[in-house]
A and B are shown apart, each in its own frame.
Chain A
Amino acid sequence: MDSRAKSSLASFLGIVLSILVAFIIAIILIFSFSKDPGKTLYWYFFGPFTNPFVFGNMLESAIPLLFTGLGMAVAFKSGVTNLGGEGQIFAGAIMAVILGILLPNLPGGVGIATLLLGGAIVGSLMAGLSGFLRMAWGVSDLLTTYLISTGMVYVINYLILGPLRDPAQITIQSLSIPAAYMLPRLLPPSYLHSGLLLGLAAAVFIWFLIYRTHLGYELRVAGSNRQFGRYGGIEVRQYLVLPMLISGALIGLGGAVQVVGRYGSCFSDLTAGLGWNGIAVALIARSNPLGVIPAALFYAYLDAGAKSAMINSDITYEIASIISAVIFYLVTAEAAVAFIRRRLGK
């Protein structure tokens, strides 16, 4: 077996092994904390598939993770750090709302495209600013992405509470975009919408960009070893900014998709940790853009399973979170892959 095949096989077996171990631990936890473990297990692992409604919602919850996961994967591949996912996805969402309110009379398709583009641009500029600061003055992008994002969250919350608030609603939320700008639903009555197809297309596009194009090649070189890139004649400085622009654009786009696909408006809890979960998804995917698809689905599945077990059985939110966390840690652990690689090596 040549070394490449061996290496891919090791990665694959490693992930399978860690998922197996994770499930065994999850089962042990469920047996220790649930009075009716059989029922809990059933709902935990099969709950998301029991009817089209929950199944559709599970797929729907994977959509924003596709975008944030892709954004983070691009950042990881390019050797930059984007911890501003929360602010970027929120900014993308509020931009989509603002554009929807300002331009209510565009044809549906054009309107949707405008809103999505607006969201992507805002996210892109936010992350790009951090990239620029690092390029120009060597400011840590880890700090600036986080700080800019955190500040942005407060600004957007002000907009939702103040100028953009919808007085007709009891809950605090922004005005809604015109109904013509909403994406079609794929599996009513679930929330699943055609943003899923956009997310899948984005994954394929980003994969192609990274592995098949000139730009992607230079990104990978600069991201894996900046000194080597410089040595090889690549102007590596720009690759502190460019991957940030792409990363932020994907995440901002994810926020806009949440608005045109799911909510139609913006509210304080819209991000709900999606920016951070994107990092988790990118880690499970080992930063491979195509790997983001199964990773986002897997993450959404765990989440849906936990919810389903909470609703239908006696397990608490805390225990469900612990089980999800255990599975997540084991899946992202490189150790399993390394272990399999060693065994294959002999």
Chain B
Amino acid sequence: MESTTQADKTSIPNILVEMLGISKVYPDNNVTANSNVHFNLQRGEIHALVGENGAGKTTLMKILCGLERADQGTIKVGGRPVHIRSARDADRLGIGMVHQRFCLVENFSVADNIVLGKEPLRGGIFYDRAKAKQTVKVLSEDYGFEMDPNALVGTLTVGQKQRVEILKVLYRGSTILVLDEPTSLLTEQEIKVFFRVLRQLKTMGYTIVIITHKLEEVGQISDRVTVMREGQVVDSRPSANLDKATLARLMVGKEVLLQVEKPAKNPGLPVLEIRDLSLIDPTCPRPLLAGINLRVRAGEVLGIAGVAGNGLGELEDVLTGMNSRGRPSGQVLIEGLEVLGHSPARLRRMGLAYVPADRLQRGSSLALSLSDNLIVVNHHVFLRFGILRNHSISKFSNDLIQRFGIKGNMSAPIGTLSGGNIQKAVLSRELSRRPKLLIISEPTWGLDVACSEFVYQEIIEMRGEETAILLISSNLDEVLALSDQVAVMYKGEVVALFPNVGLDRESLGGYMLGLHRQEVKEKSGCWEERAH
């Protein structure tokens, strides 16, 4: 906190943006996202804004970009106080944001996407596509982006899509770029290219904020770093000579990253067995899943780590019967019974509970009420002669709402709840079933710290009750904290499987990025015996 004092600010001559005393509380779940935050940005620097999930980084930047409004505090740009009430206001000040999730029209060309919303016109009426292409071509050459303006966005790689997003912001004339977790979806190679682009932009005079929770990126790319924790700025300093351990301590406030009390226990019989599972989509050059062998026993958590795009989503879909792409082969057994290709309905009757990564489209139906959403799996329980007993449904819903602290009315459409509360509703429905097998994907994505801890406790409790748990997560800390076994996926393959003893992020990271792979002699059977 000390380094963001008044003295510090006046000593830096070239301040472009100042955010002073910013506070923001989200009223619907009463989360304090920002509390009296001071943040400044120097002209022409790359500034890393780091912190854990829910530390308030994105909220702070959304306030700067006019996407959220602060409850308190002032913003100065170029020394002058400004009011940023909308994205358009931010646009006028030259501030543009590139979001974590792309907002692109897949079946439009690169040029069409970039100019969308600010199209060049002919005669003031007609869209001048030729001019759009020309402008985008020049723009992309100026920045060394090597983009084909005619390419359909749907055919681009993730890294190229990201460059389209950046070009969109540059096209609008922004000189201050805010990038929200830009590397989270990129491969290692793409990250290198991306950083080169950022350095180039910096030499051209752009000022860049990069939000991240990857520690190694801070040293690689940024000039200065601001660390946030639980809605407050903990420190702000030059990135040079800052080691990862110090940074990690600043981020989490303690030496150890994440600790969950996990009683030792011996796992029971195998519940889920996966043998030689492959998934081939003829339209895709490489298999989406290739020869996967894994098993999860009762009372055991198997964590699967991997970078997005390496088959985690496909594995989730195939195991839960939601797969609609390609043709799976191999075997999936639940308690010895072959279930590959079974519908979700059959799998659920066999004791599956499933928290999908996609809560909004798959895990809930936004137009239906909260209680309609809560009873989807077990609505048969509330029937008498085919008629729903509303009284029992209310009681059941109320129970879950109380236990999981869901903030929302049970008869209101679930779509009116905040993201975190929708998340809690999905979790409450699946975790309350006391299933044999739980497949849970990105369990704490979007949750605040207290909620995450609650979810971890629930998972550990289910483990104690002999549920077999398959945890799929791109959050390494989470995988390390909860798992008994850790598997790493890379390009559709399981490249490593370890018992969770003495593992750390760095060693797993190598496997996740495809730098190492574990040698396996047998295809199926007891990985864990050779993994030491």
A residues contacting B by CB (< 8 A) are 2-4, 7, 212-215, 217-218, 220-221, 224-225, 227-235
Contacts and interface: CB of A to CB of B under 8 A. Distances in A.
Interface in B378-408: 379-380, 383, 386-388, 390, 408
Contacts of B362: 227-228, 231
B361 A224 contact: no
Given A221-B368, A227-B361, A233-B347, 18 more contacts: A3-B416, A4-B411, A7-B412, A7-B413, A212-B387, A212-B388, A213-B388, A214-B380, A214-B387, A217-B372, A217-B379, A218-B379, A220-B372, A224-B366, A225-B364, A227-B362, A231-B320, A233-B348
Query: What are the 7 A-B residue pairs with the smallest beta carbon separation, nearest first?
Result: A232-B376, A225-B365, A233-B348, A233-B345, A228-B365, A3-B412, A224-B365
B344 A233 contact: yes
A340 to B, nearest CB: 15
A214 B379 contact: yes
27 contacts: A3-B412, A3-B416, A4-B412, A7-B413, A213-B387, A213-B388, A214-B379, A214-B386, A214-B387, A217-B375, A218-B379, A220-B368, A220-B372, A221-B365, A221-B372, A221-B376, A224-B366, A224-B367, A225-B364, A225-B366, A228-B362, A228-B363, A228-B376, A230-B344, A231-B344, A231-B363, A232-B377
A3 B370 CA distance: 12
Contacts of B345: 230, 233-235
B160 interface: no
B259 interface: no
A119 to B, nearest CB: 26
B349 to A, nearest CB: 7
Nearest to B412: A3
Nearest to B28: A3
B356 interface: yes
B498 interface: no
Contacts of B411: 4
A224 B409 CA distance: 19
Nearest to B368: A224
Which of A2, A215, A220, A227: most chain B Cβ within 10 A? A227
A121 B330 CA distance: 46
A3 B386 contact: no
A204 to B, nearest CB: 14
A229 B416 CA distance: 20
A3 B380 contact: no
Interface residues of B, number: 35
Contacts of A234: 345, 376
Nearest to A237: B343
A217 B374 CA distance: 12
A227 B63 CA distance: 34
B490 interface: no
Nearest to B348: A233
B511 interface: no
Contacts of A218: 379
B93 to A, nearest CB: 27
Given A217-B372, A231-B356, A2 B409 contact: yes
A77 B383 CA distance: 21
Contacts of A233: 344-345, 347-349, 376-377
Which of A224, A227, A232: most chain B Cβ within 10 A? A232
Interface string B100-113: 00000000000000
Contacts of B322: 227, 230-231
Interface in B279-326: 320, 322
Which of B375, B383, B388: most chain A Cβ within 10 A? B388
Nearest to A230: B344
Contacts of A7: 412-413, 416
Nearest to A235: B345
A213 B380 CA distance: 10
B374 to A, nearest CB: 10
Which of A7, A225, A229, A233: most chain B Cβ within 10 A? A233
B409 A3 contact: yes
Contacts of A231: 320, 322, 344, 354, 356, 362-363, 376
Interface in B332-372: 343-345, 347-349, 354, 356, 361-368, 372
A2 B411 CA distance: 10
A221 B380 CA distance: 14
Contacts of A217: 372, 375, 379, 388
A235 to B, nearest CB: 6
Contacts of B363: 228, 231
A330 B22 CA distance: 43
A342 to B, nearest CB: 13
A126 B296 CA distance: 50
Which of A215, A217, A225, A231: most chain B Cβ within 10 A? A231
A225 B367 contact: yes
Interface string B512-527: 0000000000000000
Nearest to B346: A233
Nearest to A232: B376
B348 to A, nearest CB: 4
A213 B384 CA distance: 9
A96 B343 CA distance: 42
Contacts of A232: 344, 348, 376-377
A186 B375 CA distance: 45
A31 to B, nearest CB: 35
B26 to A, nearest CB: 15
Contact of B409 (A4, A213, A229, A235): A4
Nearest to B343: A235
A235 B348 CA distance: 12
A227 B354 CA distance: 14
Contacts of B376: 221, 228-229, 231-234
B294 to A, nearest CB: 22
A213 B386 contact: yes
A218 B375 CA distance: 11
A317 B320 CA distance: 59
B510 to A, nearest CB: 35
Given A217-B388, A233-B344, A225 B412 contact: no
Contacts of B375: 217
A10 to B, nearest CB: 12
A225 B372 contact: no
Contacts of B366: 224-225
A227 B360 CA distance: 11
A252 to B, nearest CB: 24
B214 to A, nearest CB: 31
Contacts of A4: 409, 411-412
Contacts of A213: 386-388
Contacts of A228: 361-365, 376
A189 to B, nearest CB: 43
A63 B17 CA distance: 67
Interface in B394-442: 408-409, 411-413, 416
Contacts of A224: 365-368
A225 B416 CA distance: 16
Nearest to A231: B362
A224 B361 CA distance: 11
Contacts of B365: 221, 224-225, 228-229
Nearest to B417: A3
Interface in B236-278: none
B364 to A, nearest CB: 6
Given A221-B372, A231-B322, A235-B345, A214 B388 contact: yes
